[in-house]
Structure 1
Amino acid sequence: MSVNYSLLFVNNSTNLGNACVYQTDPDIGVPNVMSLAWFSKTTAPTTKSRFTWTVDYDFVWSEVGVLEAGVLFEASQSWRADLSTTNRVGFTHEGGAYTFTNQSKGPKSGTLYIAQSASIPLKQAAVGIGMSGKGTFVVQSQPNLNLTFTPHPKYWITFGNYDQGEVLDIGAITNPAEIEFPPGVYSMTAILNKDNSWTVKPTSEVNKAFLRSRQENRMAQWGLQK
């Protein structure tokens, strides 16, 4: 059974903007792969947004044209993938339409395989993988090129002007915070403070800090404790 992960974003800054959760993976195994804005929610000052997911993988593609930062990737097709049993899929362009085909068991568990057919046009579509039903990593599709994704993702949050599914320029993100789940912890809280710094803690620790503050000050507010 898949475990449910949860990330609570608390906007204690003075800015209205988008909380954006994304993934990176320098060892994913696909050259020129790009990260997507996995989740994005507009969040006003003094409010919260919650993101939830399971570590269930998908194959995704979209007819985006040239893949570059700022392009919006909206999956036209999403097929659930099991890392052991249904981790290989074909990608074709027949009769004027793209589609996944022939999903099967790949050569190695823990890896996701996409076999692109000779019919795939250049610089017309992007293909990749997602998690929990939304795209995470994509690459420009090419004919006769087999892609091998070996995911070990790291989770990040940032705040600014981001649309869900937007292709990110990771190097241009100036204020990200990594979300690391300690062993046995599945709920984290990321607080954007008034000075735009981040406080990232297990939600249980934020609860404890709040209860301690309440003992000293009955007017204490949850999530204001660093």
Structure 2
Amino acid sequence: MQIFWNHGHSMHPPPITLLLRPPTVALTEWTVFEVVLHSFDGAPTWHLVGLEVDGHASHPRVSSPIIAVDNVLRTCATRGGDVYHLKDECSFHPGEEIIEWSTWKESLRVQSDTNVTNVITDAFIRLEQQLYAYQQQRPYDFPMDWFIGIPIKEYTQTDRVTPDTFLLDERHELCLRLALQCARLYRHELGNETNLRPFYFDTLVQEALQDWKLSIQERRWVAVQAREIVLD
């Protein structure tokens, strides 16, 4: 897979691509195009096109050039400073977002484009095969304290909650992906597991998760899973 950085030249990504910031934009019906912009001296750039999710509404959006891709969290960082979360599957039947893309190309005098979505989706599929091989289903002891309504408080046995299964599975997938991200971050920082120090590991995990809206027990669960994940 190639990532196009903001200076416009194509390059191979590093062994670990980590975007630890939570997404600022959720995108559905997404496609990735490569174009050549005059402002980048003829070098190719990649752009996301899709429907931005805003509550119960959505509207077409075209991103600035992609500068990094995180296949664990299914996110892309762009030159404009946003982090896009690519939700669900890519677009199979382009709609109004393609009209927005055509207008965008015309305004910047872009002569042609190339659909490179499969490069991103292939990276997602390979990662998800590894992820679900580790933990395909939500374990029975996955924490539910997020759903008590005050996720910053400690969950107690007296709190009774029956969350929606879909929402609970969604929380589990997020936490599982964050656990894999933390495991990769730790290996990137220390090189290998022989250097593992529990205190340093826990500190690193908490720093990595500080911007994410997680409950206390979800953070603990992520830390435990990150220690147990065996990276290829």
Instruction: Please give the TM-score of this superposition, normalised by the length of structure 2.
Output: 0.24
Q: Which has the higher helix share?
A: 2
Q: Which has the higher strand share?
A: 1
